[in-house]
Structure 1
Amino acid sequence: MAITAEEYRLFGAAVRAARAARRWNQAQLGAKCGYSASAVSRIEAGLMHPTLESLDRIATVLTLDLVALGLHTLARLLTAHRARRAPSGAMVAGRVMDEEDDVMRRRTLFTGVAAVSAALALPRPAQAQAHELAPYDPAGDLERLLFTPPAAVALPLTEIQGELAAARTRFTTARYQELGTGLPALISAAEALRITSAGRTRDVAHAVTARGYVLATELAAKSHNDLAWATADRALQAAHLSGDPAVVGEAVRVLAITMRRAGRPAAAVDLLRHTAGDLDAQPDPAGRAVAATLLMTAAYTAACSHDATSAHDLMTGAAEAVDRLPVGLPPQSLFTVDATRAQVDLYQVGVHTALGTPDLGVPYAARIDPAALPTAERRARLGTDTARMWRALGEGPRTLAALRYVESIAPEEARRPALRTMAAELVYAPMPPAGAREFARRIGLAS
């Protein structure tokens, strides 16, 4: 279990926000943690990766709640690290507790979904602390499914297919809490059916199970939940059993995203490229459409590892694959992501931002008609990627406008850890854009 570059970046953003809230400069924080001001600057930028001992010291000084921030891998590693240092009997309910920690726990600002407001150290009046939102973790119910699966009765195939269609609608309309609550029952019923059925019914039950796990992985990835590894693996296993190439491609895509987030981008690109090649040879246009989406995901993954040549080549391949699709293919014929020119442009925005050339992404963002992205989830992705692009260009007001767009069409998207980090950075910028703090309050960062 390794800390990913993305977790280091998010940790650094939280450190910067918490430090600013205490009105400390980098030298003052460094003095408390044993670092120079320049080292603190590199940590905040995600460029320096401290030891667990140093990460623990920084989190302690700033009272950061890593779980509330969505930094689950880091939280688990620090818990284990504290356990190794603790004297016998010092572990309480999986946490290291000593007198100093207990004092810190009593004065901590982190609770509930406004946990992240406190995690990013946005000040909140005391009277507001009794009015917290539920923690943002739509994938939370999936842990029970994975490790203590509920008993389920094999429902008729048509009923399970109807439930899957409803679950997909919840995903595409960004109703993630509702989706996360219902997924365990859906997947359990599909699992029961594929165990008790045979022939074509069993093949379809495998596909329904796989797509249930695909949605579970999408949820886990959005909330930075480590369960994504388990759900992606189960998605791929069930997909292979289904014999449906398109379903296999969908499962490969979410597994590759999980690999990228875990710091294995090269392996993820290889997996995506190989699977896309297999699917592109399929006579079924749905399989070839999935291949195009895999090339887009591969391009973004390559860009995240600063492989510009591969990223641009893969985007060219994705655009060509989209152009080869038959005219009249339904606009939302795939399960979670479309294979359209608008999607190609959307990925171009993300690729250029990841490569450090966000200015080259501006023309792509400008020509995307949101109506060409047929779901709220994809339109929210447009807002998110555009916000990242404007943030990289130092355009605070435009970053905020893009975040507000996300909130307007998919409020639950705006509560994701990555978007909260951007909102906190705006609040604590040297010249915060007008309305940044109000937006932060609305998405649960401050009361």
Structure 2
Amino acid sequence: MDDSPRTPSIGERVRAARRAKGMNLDVLAGLVGKSKGWMSMVENGRIPLDKRADIAAIAEVLEVSADTILGGPADDVHARLPGINLVRLREVLHEYSLDDPPDVPVRPLDQTAADLRTLDTRLRRTDYDAMMRTLPGVLSELHAGAHLAEPDRSEALRQLITACGLAVIVMRHFGHSDLAWISADRARQAAVWLADPVWSAAAAYHSAHARPSANRSRALLATPRIADELEPHIGDDPMAHQVYGMLRLSAALAHQVSGEHDAARRQADEAARLAERFDTGDDPQAWELFGVSNVGVWRTMLAVEAEDPGEAMRISDRVDTGALASRNRRAALHMDRFRALHMLGRDKAAARELQKAERLSPAQVRHSPLIRETVRDMARVKDPVLRGLAWRMGVI
């Protein structure tokens, strides 16, 4: 018999935070614009709290971070979740800074650039263990490289922003928002030293996604303004267009979690027009894979967050998954199709979508608090695929 502790549901965390604040259910429901019955069902686990905007609103009223409600990474052993060795990465991020870099030799920067390309390939293949064997050392070198003479100094700073962006994604997939935030802030500092508007915008994108979007962090909410400020600088530089496009998608998410659905739609539409207008197609080398298919992945997620599962399925059906050069992005699409199908009451079909996502990127799926909450709500379904997923996520 498995006596592993069950991870608390999001609803249980909401109840604990509400009681700690001394607030009754009526008041909380009224302040977030919901009925008392809806709030009660959330706390009792009868309906899942799996929309970013709802989580953000409740966290704001209770004066806690969304991280508190979502919960940190569950115990890797008890919750059967994938883990990675973060000792070296923590040491680099905690011990060193651009002002106080490690005393290490810096290889020719074409060699560190080659390492970054390999790291990006490993990320797309979700080979996180291999990444952790290389990424900390590259980060150390690039911290030191920021003190080289020009033009190597600027190249090292650009590479450092790229390396920190890779770290943000991995840490986010494993639920380590603290390390993701430090990585993003290190990229921001490098961008300040570099003083290039495109790379500053790229670093701002990493900051916007270092914490769960339900936190409505200042970095995420700033993306509409940052995209506007970048627009005059994009010229004919492909990377600038790609950074600008990803910021428009981020701006759409910022509006969505703030309940501004029309503004979110306008931002996403602009990103879609940009992807088509500049014929970026689905370039596997595009910055953050900005292109027609990845825009489709984002718009699927935005439709789910807008509680329009039919539209989410229509959008996702048009996405060419074979054109997405990343297992992570393909997994993200299946994860949001899972959520949409659950909203449509098609739980068995939803379970198959989540199974596809898990095969592509186990850590990304099993560490997602939104997915875990929906799986918890579905665990009553007598489906072996779903029960297996629930067990691996530690919710049963």
Question: Which of the five TM-score ranges fits, normalised by the shorter chain?
Answer: 0.7 to 0.9
Q: Which residue of 2 aligns with 1:192?
A: 144
Which whole-Å CA distance do the structure 2 matches of 1:385 and 1:357 have between them?
Answer: 12
What amino acid maps onto 1:238 in structure 2?
A
Alignment partner, residue 96 of structure 1 = none
2-structure distance, mates of 1:146, 1:115? 28
Partners of 1:395 and 1:141 in 2: CA distance: 44
Match of 1:435 among 385, 388, 392: 385
Whether contact under 8 Å (1:173, 1:375) holds in the other structure is yes
- Work out which of the residue numbers 361, 366, 374 in structure 2 matches 1:410: 361
Task: Label 1:257 to 1:11 Cα distance change in 2 as closer, same or farther (>3 A).
Answer: farther
The structure having more radius of gyration, on CA atoms, is 1
Q: 1:71 — aligned with what?
A: 71
- Distance in 1 (CA, whole Å) between partners of 2:268 and 2:219 is 16
Deviation at 1:347, TM superposition (A): 1.4
Q: Distance in 2 between matches of 1:279 and 1:229?
A: 22
Secondary structure of 1:343 counterpart:
helix
> Conserved in 2, the CA contact under 8 Å of 1:180 and 1:219?
no
Q: Distance in 1 between matches of 2:59 and 2:293?
A: 40
2:388 & 2:280 partners in 1: Cα distance?
44
Structure 2 residue identity aligned to 1:435: V
Q: Check whether the contact 1:286–1:334 (CA below 8 A) recurs between aligned residues.
A: yes
Structure 1: 5+ residue runs without aligned partners? 1-9, 17-25, 56-65, 76-109, 118-132
**Paired position in structure 1 for 2:342:** 391
Amino acid at match of 1:324: R
Residue 207 of structure 1 and its aligned partner are, at CA, apart by: 0.7
Tell me if structure 1 keeps the 8 A contact 2:142–2:160.
yes
- 2:224 touches 2:247 (CA, 8 Å); kept in 1? yes
1:82-123 Cα shifts (integer Å, max 9, x gaps): xxxxxxxxxxxxxxxxxxxxxxxxxxxx8x524226xxxxxx
Match runs of 1:98-247 below 5 Å: 112-116=75-79, 136=83, 141-149=88-96, 151-195=103-147, 197-225=148-176, 226-247=178-199
Letter in 1 for 2:93: L
1:287 corresponds in structure 2 to: 240
Give me the whole-angstrom Cα distance separating, in 2, the residues matched to 1:222 and 1:246.
26
Q: How far did residue 413 of structure 1 move?
A: 2.7
Give the equivalent residue in structure 2 for 1:382: 333
* Residue of structure 1 in register with 2:249 after alignment: 296
Indicate the percent of aligned positions where both proteins have the same amino acid.
21
What TM-score, normalized to structure 1? 0.68
Answer whether contact 1:214 1:232 (CA < 8 A) is retained: yes
Deviation at 1:279, TM superposition (A): 3.3
Could you tell me which amino acid in structure 1 is paired with residue 71 of structure 2? L
CA contact (8 A) 2:139 2:163 kept: yes
1:285 Cα shift?
2.1
Is the Cα contact below 8 Å between 1:206 and 1:238 reproduced in 2?
yes
Q: Which residue of 1 aligns with 2:285?
A: 333
Q: Counterpart amino acid of 1:235?
A: A
Which residue does 1:123 correspond to in 2?
A: none
Q: Provide the C-alpha distance between the structure 1 equivalents of 2:281 and 2:344, rounded to a whole number of angstroms.
A: 36
SS in 1 for 2:76: coil
- Report the number of matched residues: 351
State the superposition RMSD in angstroms. Answer: 3.6
Separation in 2, partners of 1:395, 1:328: 35
1:323 is the counterpart of 2:239 = no
Note if contact 1:114-1:444 (Cα within 8 Å) is conserved in structure 2: no
CA offset digits 1:414-435 (Å, max 9, x no partner): 33233444433332x3x34342
After superposition, the C-alpha distances for 1:197-220 in whole angstroms (9 at most, x for unaligned) are: 111111010011111111112222
Question: In structure 2, what residue type is equivalent to 1:309?
Answer: D
Residue aligning to 1:424: 376
Give the alignment's TM-score, normalised by structure 2: 0.76
Change (3 A) 1:153 1:299: same
**In the TM superposition, what whole-angstrom CA distance separates every residue of 1:162-187 from its partner, at most 9, and x where no partner exists?**
11111111212122233234322110
**CA-CA distance at 1:50 after TM superposition:** 9.3
Tell me the distance in 2 between the aligned counterparts of 1:392 and 1:329. 31
Residue aligning to 1:42 = 42
CA distance in 1, matches of 2:160, 2:306: 36
